[in-house]
Structure 1
């Protein structure tokens, strides 16, 4: 029985399911009787789940940056498990390094996985969803897709781009009965900053910044990916799922602060919006 009390099972495609969020999402969907195709880099990453769900789990060993492999994986999924209902674009990694430290290759690689990987999967499934007039795309972003912090500029660049791409996508495909949800997690117990992460060659000048960033991360409460997975089930079962949703208890307060600071700054410099337009300022707008 599904989370919403119905007995209709769904077919999922979840990328980046080797560990962390991806594996938690797969486990939650399988546990309630859904069918899941899960992409991994190493074929043994899902052995535990495969033993428990041999008939409803399809592991796919592929790299989301390989467009042809993604299209083949989507075709294999629908052939083996049936038409896709939910696609979770979760594959990605974090790159650590100050902007001055980044090499062009490091930034391109970050965007290649976190943005173009999503594009490849999305473009592979959309024609199938459009023909059926249904489907739900879940784009896993981050609070780092809303605000930006030192030492992860490349990651922010990829997630801010993902947010813009996904919001435009949502407006484009709504007429076809396809839903889009951007999930924006805060700090969770994944290996985002561990073995999956990549690092630029450090410059000594930025060592104090790195220490401050590490101390700030240590002060965040760490959420449970399994709890996030059950929250995701609620989203995909909703008749009207949200375009954006925050995961993590500290995320709402953090994001509210970001937007309050932005609004205050825009207001403080609002006179330039009119002045830069080339027209006379209306009454009541001060020159500050």
Structure 2
């Protein structure tokens, strides 16, 4: 088994924590970032120098650049960059403050873009590597009450999709991870709700408030298995463009793409009506 060094944001919980535990257990090194360093005290005590940690807020552009530079300086080669840290903002679009909107986009979109851009010169200089971006089923399929979360994840997927083509000549692979529901603490720790407006009570967007407070429905996905799949994907060449995790994710994305394609195909003849005539 090839031993690698990974840079992972948001290692204190969820997929970041699961991946870190599995990677350290198999002998890899992990450079992890979190806003809560104390959450990793147990792993640091167990694995010592194989776990490199720095405090980082994904809205701090200068901080991201500094931490990436320091990680490469301290560890030398880093094989895999994992953009994992993020959270969800849910509710009707007009239920959010401007500050909430700015923070969602800064954390889920601008932060990962900064992270990847900061790592690229190092990856090119070392002759290659892998970039993994944690998206979600919501990066391909949408639900009412998720407009701002979807905006951040659709933006991230567009960035990574184009980036995969840009970086192919440099032996840098890019994979987009699209998990469905998983038994992490995302709903209860990494999700925020807007201030409910009476106008949306009983509407599809308004129902999201009850959904996130309902603890009776258990998510289908096993985060440990999902994390193992993400880790194993690094051994695939070429890098898989997208990795769908969970039967619920597969169903929702398939439905969304089928409906989207049908709507486009129905306009095959009308689309050409806006062209210049042949030879014009």
Tell me if both proteins adopt one fold, taking TM over 0.5 as the criterion.
Answer: yes
SS of 1:18's partner is coil
2:7 to 13, 19, 30: 13
Matched, 1:99 2:86: no
1:211 to 196, 207, 211: 207
1:233, 1:76 → 2: CA distance? 24
CA distance in 2, matches of 1:212, 1:192: 15
User: Residue 167 of structure 1: CA displacement?
Assistant: 0.9
User: CA separation in 2, counterparts of 1:155 and 1:270?
Assistant: 31
Question: Does the 8 A contact of 1:220 with 1:250 survive in 2?
Answer: no
The alpha-carbon deviation at position 264 of structure 1 amounts to 1.9
**Quick one: distance in 2 between partners of 1:171 and 1:146?**
19
CA distance in 2, matches of 1:133, 1:212: 46
Q: Deviation digits for residues 122-179 of structure 1, max 9, x if unmatched?
A: 1111001111111100011111111111111000000000011111111111101111
Aligned with 1:227 (options 225, 228, 247):
225
> For the structure 1 residues 219 and 194, does the alpha-carbon distance in structure 2 shift closer, same or farther, using more than 3 Å as the test?
closer
Secondary structure of the structure 2 residue equivalent to 1:88: strand
SS at match of 1:52: helix
Cα distance, 1:275 vs. partner? 2.5
Match of 2:235 among 227, 237, 241: 237
- Trace 1:1-288 onto structure 2 (pairs within 5 A): 6=1, 8-208=2-202, 209=204, 210-211=206-207, 221-277=219-275
Whether the 8 Å contact between 2:92 and 2:145 is mirrored in structure 1 is: yes
Stretch moving more, 71-80 or 56-65:
71-80
Query: 1:191 offset after TM fit, Å?
Result: 2.2
SS in 2 for 1:70: helix
* Cα drift, residue 259 of structure 1: 1.2
Deviations 1:205-240 (A, max 9, x none): 222223378559976742111111110121012222
Judged with a 3 Å threshold, the aligned counterparts in structure 2 of structure 1 residues 136 and 262 are, in CA distance, closer, same or farther, namely: same
8 Å contact kept, 1:90–1:139? yes
Q: Conserved in 1, the CA contact under 8 Å of 2:104 and 2:149?
A: yes
8 Å Cα contact 2:95/2:195 also seen in 1: yes
Distance 1:276 1:79 in 2: 54
Contact 2:90 2:208 in 1 (8 A): no
Task: Tell me, in whole angstroms, the C-alpha distance in 2 between the residues paired with 1:92 and 1:247.
Answer: 18
SS in 2 for 1:92: coil
**Counterpart Cα distance in 2 of 1:127 and 1:202:** 45
1:56-97: per-residue Cα shift (whole Å, max 9, x none)? 001211112212222221222223333110010001100012
Q: CA RMSD in A?
A: 2.1
Give the paired residue count: 274
Q: Secondary structure of 2:39's partner?
A: coil
Secondary structure of the corresponding residue to residue 12 of structure 2: coil
